[in-house]
């Protein structure tokens, strides 16, 4: 079977998926009364914060943890507030800047890191860009993929990009999920009135909605990914970012209106039906200090899982290069 000109029957085998309980789940209070759940492996290595999006939890990174730890990294993978095993917000506060501040508190204040690398796709990529600008000097490098690019409309227009074609900020062929989750969450929640229906809604994004490249998630994989979404309150928390486009008020606006100058590795899944190939051209404008965009065949929106065979070593080499460069630029204190 060919998808996007790529024979998916020739896709190399991916790293085995660790068991659901393969990693210890830690908890830490990041604001008063709210704790995040997170995986923390490879202590003492160079810190990397991996940020999931929607419809994801920390489980989307299960195929990346062991490889990055083996490459010498301290891997930190939280569930965003309201997602997975993290606490729900007591005051229904879910927005990009709130997530950004939560994660900074976890990595900087709780775990004690002055700097770290960030990896993020989907909502996680937007959070990562906000963190770059909001906390100067904290992010030493970024891996960014399949998400909303920085909002540089004048620059994109000047580069000849058709603004109306930027699929990540409109409804693409993946369906009406943005409108339904954003504009009519109560109606949708009433329709999804059982754990099975809620899991099926999310599971479709790994299957027939074609967010993923066909065949990259087995039934067992989808069961693993959807289990945390059986709960209505958590599913609604995941929808909150979509509601920001339909009248929900954010505590603060994310900083998305400027180029990203930190070194950035950019990926794009060739079969992504959520974020269009316009993403490639936008990133060429928005990230002047970049490697890529690297287009991964046989991968869609969840490329860290779908092509972990490429993602893991490329990420490891990219951040190792930044570490080597940082060491050569460090002042001589002898």
pLDDT in tens, 275-287: 999 999 999 999 9
pLDDT class for 175, splitting at 50, 70, 90?
Answer: low
In a domain, 265, yes or no: yes
Closest-CA residue to 310 (of 141, 59, 67, 147) = 67
Q: Residue 73's beta-bridge partner residues?
A: 46
In a domain, 208, yes or no: no
In a domain, 209, yes or no: no
Identify the CATH number of the domain in which residue 313 sits: 3.40.50.1820
In a domain, 79, yes or no: yes
Mean pLDDT of 183-193: 96
What H or E segment, with its residue span, contains residue 77?
strand 73-78
DSSP per-residue string spanning 90-157: TT----HHHHHHHHHIIIIIIS--S-EEEEEETHHHHHHHHHHHHSTTTEEEEEEESSPPP--HHHHH
In a domain, 269, yes or no: yes
In a domain, 95, yes or no: yes
0.75 surpassed by pTM: yes
pLDDT at 333 over 50: no
CA dist 252 and 257 (Å) reads 14
Q: Residue 267's beta-bridge partner residues?
A: 145, 294
Ordered alpha helix ranges (H), the chain:
65-70, 96-104, 123-134, 153-158, 177-183, 185-191, 195-206, 219-226, 232-243, 278-286, 303-306, 308-329
Query: What pLDDT score does 316 carry?
Result: 97
Q: How many domains does the chain have?
A: 1
pLDDT class for 3, splitting at 50, 70, 90?
Answer: low
In a domain, 274, yes or no: yes
pLDDT class for 332, splitting at 50, 70, 90?
Answer: very low
The range of the structural domain enclosing residue 282 comes to: 22-174+251-325
pLDDT class for 329, splitting at 50, 70, 90?
Answer: low
Q: What's the mean per-residue pLDDT of the chain?
A: 92
In a domain, 44, yes or no: yes
Structure-derived torsion over alpha carbons of residues 208, 213, 217, 219, reported in degrees to the nearest 10? 30
Mean pLDDT of 171-182: 74
Residue pLDDT, tens place only, 24-54? 999 999 999 999 999 999 999 999 999 999 9
Query: What pLDDT score does 212 carry?
Result: 95
């Amino acid at each position: 079977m060919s998808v996007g000109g790529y024979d998916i029957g020739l896709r190399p085998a991916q790293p085995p998926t660790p068991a659901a309980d393969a990693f210890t789940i830690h908890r830490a209070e990041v604001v008063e009364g709210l704790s995040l759940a997170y995986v923390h492996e490879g202590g003492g290595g160079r810190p990397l914060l991996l940020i999931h999006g929607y419809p994801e939890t920390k489980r989307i990174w299960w195929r990346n943890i062991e490889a990055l730890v083996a490459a010498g990294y301290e891997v930190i993978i939280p569930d965003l507030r309201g997602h997975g095993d993290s606490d729900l917000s007591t005051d229904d506060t879910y927005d990009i800047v709130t997530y950004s501040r939560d994660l900074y508190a976890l990595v900087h204040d709780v775990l004690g890191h002055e700097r770290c690398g960030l990896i993020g796709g989907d909502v996680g990529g937007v959070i990562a860009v906000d963190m770059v600008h909001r906390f100067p000097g904290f992010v030493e490098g970024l891996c960014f993929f399949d998400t909303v690019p920085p909002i540089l409309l004048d620059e994109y227009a000047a580069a000849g990009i058709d603004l109306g074609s930027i699929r990540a900020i409109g409804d693409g062929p993946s369906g009406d999920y943005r409108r339904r989750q954003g504009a009519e969450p109560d109606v949708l929640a009433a329709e999804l009135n059982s754990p099975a229906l809620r899991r099926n809604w999310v599971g479709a994004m790994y299957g027939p909605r074609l967010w993923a490249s066909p065949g990259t998630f087995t039934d067992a994989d989808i069961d693993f990914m959807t289990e945390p979404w059986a709960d209505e309150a958590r599913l609604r928390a995941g929808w909150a970012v979509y509601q920001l486009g339909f009248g929900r008020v954010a505590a603060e606006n994310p900083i998305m209106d400027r180029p990203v100058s930190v070194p950035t590795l950019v990926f794009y899944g060739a079969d992504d039906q959520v974020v269009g190939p316009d993403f490639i051209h936008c990133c060429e404008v928005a990230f002047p200090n970049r490697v890529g965009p690297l287009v991964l065949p046989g991968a869609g929106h969840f490329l860290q899982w779908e092509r972990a065979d490429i993602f893991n070593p490329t990420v490891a080499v990219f951040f190792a290069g930044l570490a080597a460069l940082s060491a050569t630029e460090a002042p001589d204190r002898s």
